[in-house]
Amino acid sequence: MFDKLVQDELEKVRKKIRPFNSWEEVYGILLEEIHEFQEEVFKKAKNRDKDNTLKELYQIAGICSRAEVDLVTDKPTPIYFPDNEYNSHAESLGTIKRVLYNITKELFETGSTRSKLSYYLQYMYKVCKDSAISLGLVES
């Protein structure tokens, strides 16, 4: 179900927005989407909108998928990540921010290598998917 939501979002975006030109562009858009997810996480539990929380997760995942296609390769090599269970919205956000930190480090400190950036993009996608499932936002 989550993968279908991401694919549907990607189809809408592809019709409206040109392909990514740089990692800096991807980084900026990821920051914006993660901030929107964070705003939802920081709300009191009773005020959180499940649909909006899910939307932010699949938008983050969609950016990761699109960036990999636009900037890494036409056919990304899938990497296996074990399933993880996230017990809270805050735990999900913390993991997403750690992955973003690693992307930042690759881009701005060590110089990007496509294989490492591809790894982090796929890992962030997986974190978003596992979060949506663990938090009961979608079925597995």
DSSP single-letter state for residue 137:
S
Q: What is the pLDDT along the chain (140 residues), one digit of tens a residue?
A: 999 999 999 898 888 889 898 888 999 999 999 999 999 999 999 999 999 999 999 999 999 999 888 887 656 566 778 788 888 899 999 999 999 998 888 887 766 667 788 888 889 999 999 999 999 999 87
pLDDT of residue 85: 86
pLDDT of residue 34: 95
**Following DSSP, what letter does each residue of 48-80 receive, concatenated?**
--HHHHHHHHHHHHHHHHHHIIIII-SSPPP--
Q: Identify the CA nearest to 79 among candidates 120, 111, 27.
A: 120
State pTM to two decimals.
0.88
What separation in angstroms does the CA of 9 have from each of 4, 72, 114?
A: 9, 20, 24
In the chain, domain spans: 2-134
Q: Give the alpha-carbon dihedral of 73, 63, 95, 48, to 10 degrees.
A: -160
Rg (CA), the chain: 14
pLDDT of residue 126: 93
pLDDT of residue 138: 92
pLDDT of residue 55: 95
- Name the strand (E) or helix (H) holding 90: helix 89-105
Contact 24, 107 (CB under 8 A): yes
